[in-house]
Amino acid sequence: MPRRILHVVSNVAHFDNPDEPTGLWLSELSHAYDLFAAQGYEQRLVSPKGGAIPLEPRSLKWPNADASAKRWLADPASMALLSHTASPGELHGKDFDAMYFTGGHAVMYDYPDDEGLQRLAREVYEHGGIVASVCHGYCGLLNARLSDGSLLVAGRRVTGFTWMEEILAGVAKQVPYNAEEEMKRRGARFEKALVPFTPKAVVDGRLVTGQNPQSAKVTAKRVISLLSA
């Protein structure tokens, strides 16, 4: 039976200022999806509200729109996946071998407190599956708890989009909070690459996290390695 992957995407279309659009950073999904597809894995997309997914405009422009993202944009079947995502209530974590939280600044708003996503992450993890994130996707792990009430990330090695990268990206004044500091406040052992915007993935047991959009491929490859072990 093929492995099953659940990708998490955001429904949010803008920052606090409605005139500042955001959404899914497309390559963070497309890179992982393509690598998992090459392994023959079955894949589903879920979002907090279900339905259509907005795309981060900056992820659709040069140099961020790479070959993988452009293939998705040109493929009606791929784009249809982003128009008809499942909602958490339709799914059971035990049915998936891995859960992969994608990023984009949008996720800072709807991931952290969504009880449906938290339930799925707990079920995936406690049924022996892998919980993974890339870039801002780690906001979905901030408040995820296991059945014993402990935070999934407490005492664990993790990475994600850093505060320095927020500053360099020119959005530090727009984001609703400092995700790196919030992760540290929860007892996570935060790690980052020496050079911003370079690939980095951290594996701590069945918890896999990637630092930034450039880390999507290496993060997915770490997940594949664990599933193949």
DSSP letters along 122-141, please? HHHHHTT-EEEEEGGGGGGG
Up-side HSE of residue 133: CA atoms within 13 Å toward CB? Answer: 29
Entry pTM: 0.98
For residue range 57-97, list pLDDT tens digits in order: 999 998 889 999 999 999 999 999 999 999 999 999 999 99
pLDDT computed for residue 108 by the predictor: 98
For residue range 102-141, list pLDDT tens digits in order: 999 999 999 999 999 999 999 999 999 999 999 999 999 9
pLDDT computed for residue 142 by the predictor: 98
For residue range 136-162, list pLDDT tens digits in order: 999 999 999 999 999 999 999 999 999
pLDDT computed for residue 72 by the predictor: 96
